[in-house]
Amino acid sequence: MRPYSIAAPLLLALTALPVSADTAAADIPIKRVTLYTSGVGYFERAGSVSGDAAETLLFPTGQINDVLKSLVMLDSGGGTIQPVTYAAQDALGRQLQAFSIDLSDNPSRATLLNRLRGAEATVSYTDNGTPVKVTGTIMGVETQTIQLPSNGGVTQQSTLNLLTPDGLISIPLTSITSQKLTDPKLNEELNQALMTVAQSRSATKRAVTLNFKGRGSRSVRVGYLTEAPLWQTSYRLVLGAKPIVQGWAMVQNTTQDDWKNVDLSLVSGRPISFIQDLYTPLYVPRPVVQARVQASPTPQTYASDMKTPADVDKIIGLQADNSLVIESAPAPATAPMEGGFGGGGGFGGAAGGFPGASRGRADAKKSNYAAGELSFSDAAKQAITASGAQMGTALFAYQVKTPVDVPRQQSAMIPFLSSAIHVEEVSIFNANVQTDHPLLGARVKNTTGLHLMGGPLTVFDDSAGSNGYVGDALIDDTEPNQTRLISYAVDQALDAESKPGDGSGDLQSIVINQGTLIATHKERQATVYTFKNHSAKARTVVVEQNYPGDDWKLLEPKEVTEHTPQVDRFDLAVPAGASKSLTVRREHLDNEVYGLMDTGLDNLAVFVTTTHASDAVKAALKDVMARRRAIGALQQQIDSRKAQIAAISVGQTRIRDNMKALDHASTLYKRYANELNTQETQLENLQKEIDTLSAERSQKQLELNNFVAKLTVD
């Protein structure tokens, strides 16, 4: 057989379909990248081609579906887009069935030779130690029973039957040293089938070939979506007299290409993105139908479309662009920052790092400028590459104006925002977070004009009294002009205490509505917050309290400073060196419901005596109670007579047992008979009384039901 080359699977993996010898290889590098927060990236390639050209791109197998779903191509020089070709992704068994030699079931040599019946082959074997080579037509493989010498029993032996010019010969498979198909096409089929097996096992990437057809040199563009890591944000907030925010984006180039001089856009939002398997061929099972010969059908006519032309125009005309362009204020023009953040002049660098923790504020400030150390405000004001953003109805895009370079399988941190921002320094107290101290924080209003995607925020302070890093915070997605709180440290200069205040619960009113008594209670709750400020600077404390719901009315203070679905916030100014308290008081109306038919009479009697019930309610309750007592009295009489019937029945059982042992002519027997007769009369009378009382009770119950069902009094 033709030797199998290990390079064959690799060659097949790198070639989607054969490219014509007249087709030139194109070079279409990546020019634009847009990264989304939905786990995909848009990649746009641009370049020049001449004549017929093709560009082969390699993608991980898992990304092929995204490419097939989104690929667009443009040949702007009068050329035409040819079919995009790619390696098939069919099930291995189905691929192997496409070859004339079926290897789908991993056949043995005997099975494979049987499938090659009729093919011409050259076979080399040994006959009693003598090498023999013969050429003939494969007839097949059969299994024979062979008698072993010296009465050693029998064994099964497979032999190849080969039709040669000298006749039919049988060659034991165990003696064959090599066999080769003499038909080059059949031999190639076998090699291709083996390469398909190797490719399905080892290939991790697939080739997609873009084909362009035309004349002369011209520009082409290609765009597609693939899976991409989420780009993430981090911010630096510098507190002080003029607060500044700086934003950085972390991006990863996990593609197979270097990004060189690439236009980068970063899109925040939640676009819907999904994967659909377009790469694997789908086969629909179809029924087998016998051919039938029928007469030609008669001509048919069809009714016209019921849509009016106006409806059609309305659909075609929906092309409005609702996007909004926001221009951010230009950053101050400064010299490029040497070393970047983290280098010789960066945050934490050896020469320009933070001053030591033991150094005083005045000395540190002086030494910063004298030694050329970094000012955090100046660093945050550094001119950056992004100068604007575009907001649509669902997405917000940061356009990085300066092209970027990111080698493949590398990451980069890119500044996209530098702007003044409105910040109010506050202390935030939530008893569920920290019981004895508030958290140092800030009320940040997004005055940058840009959407700020959520992420970590490192806080620095250049104001008097501190210098350098003061804490870390997290901020959620923040729209322009939206305000959010952040916290970055524990405010140890401010002691805090929260304790329950005075509470109460009073009955307010009693009404009856369609047979239901509703008692309304007013419940009051209060919480007292006390703060002691040990610092020389006044504090604004933002007190957070869980929001109990709309049915609780705020009594004190008169209104909240901020409200969210989860908490209410109250601002409290605490002077330097002073103590200040805040009492939050709420009231809540709670309704207790009682059924007039099933609530105990003693409980209803309590409502009759309260001063919160009106005379009409009291009168209605008394009427209901009197009716229920009358019904109860009738039931007691019924129960009394039923008890008498039960007692008489027990006596009758005893008498009948005694009568069984007596002579019917005896005096005692006759006495018992008379007594039974008298009791039967009593039973009849008691049952009549029960029937009369039951009817009266049912009537009164019906009257009570009707009365209560219509009873509404307040």
Q: What are residue 134's DSSP bridge partners?
A: 123
Q: Cβ–Cβ contacts within 10 Å for residue 597, how many?
A: 14
What's the pLDDT at 497? 95
80 pLDDT above the threshold of 60? yes
What's the pLDDT at 282? 67
**Among 27-36, 328-337, 393-402, 633-642, where is mean pLDDT lowest?**
328-337
Q: Give 355's pLDDT tier (boundaries 50, 70, 90).
A: very low
What's the pLDDT at 339? 30
Q: Give 267's pLDDT tier (boundaries 50, 70, 90).
A: confident
**Among 8-17, 21-30, 471-480, where is mean pLDDT lowest?**
8-17
Look up residue 523 and give its two tokens: 């419940």
Q: Cβ–Cβ contacts within 10 Å for residue 80, how many?
A: 9
What is the pLDDT of the chain when averaged over all its residues?
A: 77
Q: Cβ–Cβ contacts within 10 Å for residue 348, how many?
A: 13
Choose between 584 and 451: higher pLDDT.
Answer: 584
Q: What is the pLDDT of residues 540-591, one digit of tens each?
A: 999 999 999 888 999 999 999 999 889 999 999 999 999 999 999 999 988 8
237 pLDDT above the threshold of 50? yes
What's the pLDDT at 466? 52
What's the pLDDT at 611? 83
Q: Could you tell me how far CA 162 lies from the centroid of its own chain?
A: 66
Choose between 110 and 381: higher pLDDT.
Answer: 110
Topology given in CATH for the domain delimited by 92-143+155-202: SH3 type barrels. (2.30.30)
What's the pLDDT at 97? 53
Q: What is the pLDDT of residues 578-609, one digit of tens each?
A: 999 999 999 998 888 998 888 899 988 888 88
284 pLDDT above the threshold of 50? yes
399 pLDDT above the threshold of 60? yes
pTM: 0.58
What's the pLDDT at 198? 61
What amino acid occupies position 185?
K
Choose between 564 and 154: higher pLDDT.
Answer: 564
Q: Give 246's pLDDT tier (boundaries 50, 70, 90).
A: very high
Read off the pLDDT of each residue in 151-158 and give the average, rounded to a whole number.
Answer: 78
What's the pLDDT at 321? 36
Read off the pLDDT of each residue in 400-429 and give the average, rounded to a whole number.
Answer: 90
What's the pLDDT at 33? 92
d(CA 4, CA 191): 7
Look up residue 552 and give its two tokens: 């609780």
**Among 63-67, 354-358, 619-623, where is mean pLDDT lowest?**
354-358
* Cβ partners under 8 Å of residue 192, min gap 6: 99
Look up residue 671 and give its two tokens: 């006495």
312 pLDDT above the threshold of 50? no
241 pLDDT above the threshold of 90? no
d(CA 439, CA 426): 9
Q: In what order do the strands lie in the sheet with 386-391?
A: 72-75, 217-227, 40-50, 30-36, 259-269, 395-406, 386-391, 324-327
What's the pLDDT at 491? 93
| Cα–Cα distance list, 459 to 190, 265, 374 (Å) | 68, 26, 15
Choose between 133 and 5: higher pLDDT.
Answer: 133
1 pLDDT above the threshold of 80? no
Q: What is the pLDDT of residues 488-540, one digit of tens each?
A: 999 999 999 999 988 777 778 889 988 899 988 888 999 999 999 999 999 99
Q: Give 341's pLDDT tier (boundaries 50, 70, 90).
A: very low
Q: Where are the domains of the chain?
A: 92-143+155-202, 324-492, 496-595, 601-713
What's the pLDDT at 197? 63
Q: Give 121's pLDDT tier (boundaries 50, 70, 90).
A: confident
d(CA 620, CA 510): 12
Read off the pLDDT of each residue in 113-118 and give the average, rounded to a whole number.
Answer: 82
DSSP result, 77-129: TS-EEPPPEE-----HHHHHTTSSS--TT---HHHHHHHTTT-EEEEEEEETT
Look up residue 266 and give its two tokens: 């970063």
Read off the pLDDT of each residue in 244-253 and give the average, rounded to a whole number.
Answer: 91
Read off the pLDDT of each residue in 97-108 and give the average, rounded to a whole number.
Answer: 65
Read off the pLDDT of each residue in 89-112 and give the average, rounded to a whole number.
Answer: 63
What's the pLDDT at 166? 87
What's the pLDDT at 59? 83
Question: First-to-last CA distance in the chain?
Answer: 105
Q: Cβ–Cβ contacts within 10 Å for residue 307, how many?
A: 10
What's the pLDDT at 88? 62
Three-state secondary-structure class, residue 673: helix
